[in-house]
Amino acid sequence: MPSYGQCQEAEIGASPEACFAALTDYERLPEWQGAVKSARILERDAEGRGALVAYEVDAKVKVVRYTLRQVYDEPHRLGSEYVEGDFRDFGGEWRFAALPGGRTRAQLDLRIDPGRLVPGPVRALIADAVMRRAMSDLQSYVEVAPFLAHFSLAAGVSIAAVIGVFASPLS
């Protein structure tokens, strides 16, 4: 069966350390990563970081579940190796390079083998949910979250909802 891969890149107005910290705070991912419904740490490494993480992600066409082993090169690379789940194979990595002015070049490189042929339109929906949205959610979160710390949000309003307002294009 075919394996599908894609790479996304963005310039983010935050440090590599801030980007890395956001992505490795697994328990809080569902608060700001719109597609992530849950992320549970199953094992920790010697430094207390998530070593084995189970995810539940809304990939538009269906909710998928998978477990990844995380590989760290802090704060420049967060790799993910497929352990089990709804795919035949799934893996990738986030890479962060410092830019002048406290900015970061972020790259997300993923490969997915769903175990069956996936039509182009469905593949595009999955790519949008898993990659473009992940990158834009990260960018919005690390650029906006520091400002949100200064405000008291009304009960029931999630960080993801507030970030969504900032990330939405103006009509």
Q: What is the mean pLDDT of residues 33-59?
A: 95
Distance CA 16, CA 121 (A): 33
pLDDT (0 to 100) of residue 50: 98
Count CB neighbours of 135 within 10 A.
18
> Which of 33-37, 45-49, 87-91, 154-158 has the least mean pLDDT?
154-158
Q: What is the pLDDT of residue 111?
A: 85
Q: What is the mean pLDDT of residues 20-34?
A: 95
Average pLDDT, integer, range 59-80:
92
Domains delineated in the chain: 4-167 (3.30.530.20)
In DSSP notation, the chain reads ---EEEEEEEEESS-HHHHHHHHT-GGGHHHH-TTEEEEEEEEE-TTS-EEEEEEEEE-SSSEEEEEEEEEEETTTEEEEEEEEESSSEEEEEEEEEEEGGGEEEEEEEEEEE-SS---HHHHHHHHIIIIIHHHHHHHHHHHHHHHHTTS-PPTT--HHHHHHHHHSPP-
Averaged confidence pLDDT in the chain? 84
